[in-house]
Chain A
Amino acid sequence: MEETVYKELESEEYFINMGPQHPSTHGVLRLVLSLDGEIIRKVEPHIGYIHRSIEKMCEHDSYQQIVHLTDRMDYLSCHINNEAVCLGVEMGLQLEVPERVKVIRTIIGELTRLSSHQLWWGVMGMDLGAITTFLYGFRDRELITDIFEETCGARLTMNYNIPGGLMFDIHPNFQKRTKDFITYFKKKLPEYDDLLSNNVIFRERTLGIGNLSKEDAISFGVTGPTGRASGFSCDVRKHHPYSAYNKVEFKEILRTEGDCYARYQCRIDEMWESLSIIEQLIDNIPEGPYKAPTKAVIKLPKGEFYQKVETARGEFGVYIISEGQKSPYRLKFRSPGFSNLSALNHMAQGCKIADLVAIMSTLDLVIPDIDR
């Protein structure tokens, strides 16, 4: 008798598809979940829906053209991606860019990080059912987008960095508008805490969910705020300073909990740090040329050049193998989202489906960055 009851209640593993068109995957990412009731046993990411083979295209393009492909990858960190290629090419040419360029690149990079985190914050709230945060996030992001529009002419896939410097000088309004934005946003950032950080429902859904230990973070190559929330000190700005990061003071935000809430808090704290970096630099932009002279056709010497930068999502690497031609022989983009996604299965095992949405949100995935 007892045995029959047990058999009737025995559960069977089954599969569901999440995506490729699902609002919380933030793009065309398909996850095959194998479930036991509501408990996740395995998550299998299927990627490549928007694979454009950018690396193959790069093998036929000039170095100036390659820069413009990178902002189509992680479109929320476009300036930082562009900067990575420019720094890689400048390393190959052994070209020292003017101080003015370094400082402007750093400011623009931090503004990009802020706008990316603002969007993430808005979307994260919406994923967990709070639509207000989405409106708040976009309201504040709009101001940064306006600054970018004025200086480089575009609002999303922006191109401002070129090998050797910048396309053109900053707009005369740039400094004033950035300072206005800092004053404004310093008042608004505590609102973010009021709305989400101390919200009981939000804390219940993120505290202790999706744990990732420091060892696993290193083994999976999880970087950026996601890795730092697990205690993995991986901030490229600290470890391998580029542009003007060695001239400014900022803290590397580290947490040890490794859960969704720690990742959330890491990004909020990073916004404060970004504001402080911009504040230190905005009044101290040195005078001088905005680009170093380069040849019309750039040929890198034979050799290998690896440049890494810290995007809003983590460590972004550009690995150039040059044979002395005007195009690279091989160019590899080490994208942060790709490695971060590989840890998803590990983090989500044993969680519920609703928790998976929270984990995905705190990983802050941008799919074109993963598919390339």
Chain B
Amino acid sequence: MDNEALKEFILQRVPEAELAQGTQYLQVVVPAEKAYTLLSELKSNPQTSFDYLFCVTGVDWPQHMEVVYHLKSTTFNHMVVVKGKISSREKPEIETVCKLWRTAEFHEREIFDLYGIVFKNHPDLRRLLLTDDWVGYPMRKDYDDPVNMIAY
């Protein structure tokens, strides 16, 4: 499916999606509540069949948070970037995609660890890289740690 067809496909399912052509891939921004619906449709629909999730990233913006999913289909070789926009920075929540792609289990744990984004219905949501008693979420822009961080 080319980018135009993909755009149409996505807009039919999630009309509030904001689409933009990035430097490389088609980018789709959807509210966090709609992200799972769209992702599961992209995965399971035989027309798109995005079966390979190669990167999951958390991003901390000044007003909101984002989870970025990079998807590729091994059958059709097309790619898309889906961004789940989480409006609350205080209590960020989004539905997990572990049921769709098992690689998300580790990636989402890492994002929870470093950004504090809670993935609902994740089978095993614990800190991954940091110790269990760590306070705060280091990758957030407002995180401050005078002991372990070097001020520039």
Contact = CB atoms under 8 A, between A and B. Distances in A.
Interface string B112-152: 00000000000000001111000000110000000000001
Interface stretch (A149-157, A167-175, A300-308, A353-361): A300-308
Contacts of A329: 59
Contacts of A339: 103, 106-107
Contacts of A303: 22-23
Contacts of B105: 342
A250 B107 CA distance: 33
Contacts of A55: 139
A285 B41 CA distance: 48
Majority secondary structure of chain A interface residues (helix, strand, loop or mixed): mixed
B70 A319 contact: yes
Nearest to B113: A48
B74 interface: yes
Given A220-B102, A221-B52, A315-B54, A53 B23 contact: no
Given A219-B102, A306-B70, A315-B54, 5 more contacts: A48-B130, A92-B23, A305-B24, A332-B57, A343-B102
Interface in B17-49: 22-25, 27
B9 interface: no
B95 interface: no
A30 interface: no
Interface size class of A (residues with CB under 8 A): 35 or more
B54 A317 contact: yes
B39 to A, nearest CB: 14
A321 B128 CA distance: 24
Contacts of B152: 60
A218 B105 CA distance: 14
A234 B70 CA distance: 15
A55 B54 CA distance: 18
B129 to A, nearest CB: 4
A49 to B, nearest CB: 9
Identify the 3 closest CB pairs spanning chains A and B, nearest first: A48-B129, A221-B103, A342-B106
A319 B57 contact: yes
Nearest to B106: A342
A156 to B, nearest CB: 24
Given A221-B52, A319-B57, A330-B59, A91 B103 contact: no
Interface string A46-78: 011001010110001000000000000000000
6 contacts: A48-B130, A92-B23, A304-B23, A330-B57, A330-B60, A332-B55
A273 B78 CA distance: 27
Interface string A12-23: 000000000000
Interface in A296-328: 303-306, 308, 315, 317, 319, 321
Contacts of A305: 23-24
Given A48-B130, A218-B51, A341-B106, A91 B57 contact: no
A329 to B, nearest CB: 8
Contacts of A332: 55, 57
A216 B102 contact: yes
B101 A221 contact: yes
A100 B130 CA distance: 43
A232 interface: yes
B59 A321 contact: yes
B53 interface: yes
B101 A338 contact: no
Given A53-B138, A221-B101, A319 B55 contact: yes
A272 to B, nearest CB: 26
A304 B68 CA distance: 11
Interface in B46-104: 51-55, 57, 59-60, 68, 70, 74, 77, 81, 101-103
Contacts of B103: 219-221, 339, 342
Given A60-B152, A317-B54, A233 B22 contact: no
A371 interface: yes
Nearest to B129: A48
B138 to A, nearest CB: 6
B124 to A, nearest CB: 9
A56 B138 contact: yes
Contacts of B139: 53, 55-56
